[in-house]
A and B are shown apart, each in its own frame.
Chain A
Amino acid sequence: MSQQMRLFLAEAMRSLTANLSTTAAATIAVLIGMFVFGLFLAVGSYVNSWRENLENQVVVKVFFSQDATPAEIEAVRTQTLQFPQTKSMTFVSKEDALREMREKHPELTRGLASNPLPPSYTIKPKKAEQVREIAGRLDPPPPGVDTVTYKEKTTEKVLLFADVVKWGSLVGSLVLLAASTILIANTIRLSIFSRRREIEVMKLVGATNWFVRGPFMLEGLICGLIGSIIAIVLLVVGKEFALPALPFLERAGSEAEAWSFSLIALLVVGVSLLVGAMGSAITLRRFLKI
């Protein structure tokens, strides 16, 4: 560590301990802001993955008639693959369909003499709302096709719900992020404002801007670090104790997943260090013009 850095650190520690209430205020501001930020990263990424999951379940099903020939089935495959809206399609043979039915509803399949289920294609669209267009292109049904369905009612509801969730979480996180940014910015401004005379004196005895800025930025870094570590501890507590207490998440769970906790923790620490140091430096600008 260079002599300059040691001096900055000593100056930063001196004023952190000399202005304990300001230090506490800044740390708590970072703590609140970063807790909210971390919470929204977790909840937002979870909700988003849940939404994607929902949208993935929106598919078009093409059911063939019992006597459809392999050539007819192949023709439908080639035709559908050429639609620009088609992402992928999977073939469900008669046997596959029966196996699936046995698993889901064993009581219905008990005692069946023959397999009554038709072969089908499950077509995934590139975007969920494109199921309508795909179904439209397969109307009238090509030869060998019995019915084309995309569960109109369910699909519409799912899509609407997904939209509400997407925009709701986006607006919510923007508002909360803005609120915590303003909270942190104001705390930094107040703490620097209360020391503007000190800064003036420093400048008048010949301190360079960097000499004044260095300790302030280090203070911001230290407050940011402490605040974000406490925020992460609170997030861990929330994850381990509060989440399991919420029963509906169990059901909604399925395959939805939030970003990994370590990624969120890393982002929280990074953002708060950035906010602490840059916030101090930017706020100082006005007071350094002496």
Chain B
Amino acid sequence: MTDTSVETPATTAPAAIEADAAERAGGAPMIVFEEVTKIYEPNIVALRDVALVIEKGEFVFLVGPSGSGKSTMIRLLLKELEPTKGRIIVGGRELARLRRSKVPMLRRNLGCVFQDFKLLPNRTAFENVAYALKVQGESSKGIRAKVPEVLGLVGLASKMSHYPDELSGGEQQRVSIARAFVNHPPLLICDEPTGNLDPDTSVGIMQLLYRINRTGTTVVMATHDREMVDKMRRRVIALDDGAVIRDERRGGYG
């Protein structure tokens, strides 16, 4: 998969992807859902008996109409919600057995990118990224070294001291990706990261996520962007009404 580029994703054979992913995984998968059901009280079924395995190093699209359960899956992964039934294992750890006090540790190992960026409005790009390091007690020396590096990676080296409202949507999303990636987490979760962006900007964001994936980071991305999914030819998990209706190695939006 290391030779895969955004422009020519289809050149890699499916078998190679699998082998590559399994090799990086060292055996254990990144994410396992075992018959997961989530019911919002009283009777809204958001997910029904979802079972899937995502290997380390994979790039996975989560597609489906609004209300099909994509966001619920992501919130379950972040342990923002608890499943009504079933088990979720992330990085070899079962989330249900993770104590509340350990949830921050889980989240430091998961990068999160959201449709609405979720940047802190009164902090500069640099400070927004630095905050993710501060919460885990990184020294200011470490912060001064790592933040410019990752902001350079996302192409914002010249806009580190800009506030979010001084940046375009695409730039804000780059800041949020930098924040998610600054810890080099093994897993990056994106909830419609291109949902608020125009198509050209979206391509740039996708290229960035791709590059991050190539460093070995597993990327799970919920999206509505049909064109993007069709172009990428990556693993697609399609949800409808809370159930997995399709799981293809090199799928299209459907």
Contacts and interface: CB of A to CB of B under 8 A. Distances in A.
B135 A201 contact: no
Nearest to A19: B122
A201 B112 CA distance: 10
A205 B122 contact: no
Interface stretch (A50-58, A61-69, A206-214, A256-264): A206-214
Name the residue in A4, A15, A205, A211 with the highest tally of chain B Cβ atoms < 10 Å from its Cβ. A205
A207 B103 CA distance: 9
Given A200-B118, A201-B119, A290-B80, A206 B132 contact: yes
Interface in A187-223: 197-198, 200-208, 211
Interface in B111-141: 112, 118-122, 131-132, 134-137, 139
B250 interface: no
Contacts of A206: 104-108, 132, 135-136
B66 to A, nearest CB: 21
B105 A205 contact: no
Given A211-B135, A290-B80, A205 B119 contact: no
A113 interface: no
A18 interface: yes
Name the residue in A15, A206, A290 with the highest tally of chain B Cβ atoms < 10 Å from its Cβ. A206
B122 A201 contact: no
Interface range, A side: 10 to 19
B179 interface: yes
A87 to B, nearest CB: 59
A18 B122 contact: yes
B135 A208 contact: yes
B78 interface: yes
Contacts of B80: 290
Nearest to B180: A205
Contacts of B107: 203-206
A197 B117 CA distance: 11
Contacts of B135: 202, 205-208, 211
Contact of B112 (A14, A205, A211): A205
Nearest to B119: A201
Given A7-B134, A202-B131, A207 B104 contact: yes
Nearest to A14: B122
A7 B80 CA distance: 26
A219 B71 CA distance: 34
Contacts of B120: 198, 201-202
A8 to B, nearest CB: 11
A208 B135 CA distance: 7
Contacts of A290: 80
A244 B135 CA distance: 55
Name the residue in A7, A201, A207 with the highest tally of chain B Cβ atoms < 10 Å from its Cβ. A201
Interface in B128-160: 131-132, 134-137, 139
Contact of A204 (B105, B118, B136): B118
A208 B106 CA distance: 11
Nearest to B112: A204
Name the residue in B104, B105, B118 with the highest tally of chain A Cβ atoms < 10 Å from its Cβ. B104
A208 to B, nearest CB: 5
Nearest to A207: B135
Nearest to A198: B120
B140 to A, nearest CB: 9
A280 B87 CA distance: 36
B117 to A, nearest CB: 9
Interface in A1-53: 3-4, 7, 14-15, 18
B61 to A, nearest CB: 22
A61 B20 CA distance: 107
Nearest to A17: B122
Contacts of A203: 104, 107
Contacts of A208: 101, 104, 135
B131 to A, nearest CB: 6
Contacts of B122: 14-15, 18
A13 to B, nearest CB: 13
Nearest to B105: A206
A207 B105 CA distance: 9
Contacts of B78: 204
A198 B80 CA distance: 16
Contacts of B179: 205
Name the residue in B105, B118, B139 with the highest tally of chain A Cβ atoms < 10 Å from its Cβ. B118
A262 to B, nearest CB: 40
Contacts of A201: 118-120
Given A201-B120, A202-B135, 4 more contacts: A202-B120, A203-B104, A203-B107, A205-B107
Give the 5 A-B CB pairs with smallest separation, nearest first.
Answer: A206-B108, A206-B107, A207-B135, A205-B132, A208-B104
9 contacts: A14-B122, A197-B118, A202-B135, A204-B118, A205-B179, A206-B106, A207-B135, A208-B135, A290-B80
